[in-house]
Amino acid sequence: MKKGDKMRKLRISFGMENEDLLSAGHYGDSAFFLIYDFYENGILEFIEKRENITGESLHGDFEKFKNIINILYDVDVFAAYRMGPNFLNIRDKSNKIPYLTRTRSLKESIDLVKNNFEFLWEEKLKKLKA
């Protein structure tokens, strides 16, 4: 990195069931979201916990998709154990990157994001160019 360059950062949201486990259900059905900033040098910074205030709705409901996007307006990556029917809407109709962890462990999911920072950064650049 050259002097004056800004460190690359991704803001990641984990859809949670409790403080340790990602939601077993769909991302939009998470009880709350834990927001972290991941920096290219491996530093991780907890930002905040955001409640999921979308309420009950049918799976794949487009309004729910829009509500989640609004709740997580400043997030780059939606990290989840399982995505629901709105997975394609997140990927194709938003500037967000859906990322499946395939583990419910928050610790393991954080490690996966750290190990895949470059891939996720490239996905963010693609979204910015679209």
pTM score of the predicted model: 0.91
Phi, psi angles (nearest 5°) of residue 24: -75, -20
What are the structural domains, with CATH classification, of the chain? 9-129 (3.30.420.130)
Q: How far apart are CA 61 and CA 80, in angstroms?
A: 18
Q: Which two tokens stand for residue 108?
A: 């393991």
Q: What is the pLDDT along the chain (130 residues), one digit of tens a residue?
A: 455 568 999 999 999 999 999 999 888 889 999 999 999 999 999 999 999 988 766 566 778 888 999 999 999 999 999 877 888 888 898 999 999 999 999 999 999 999 999 999 999 999 998 7
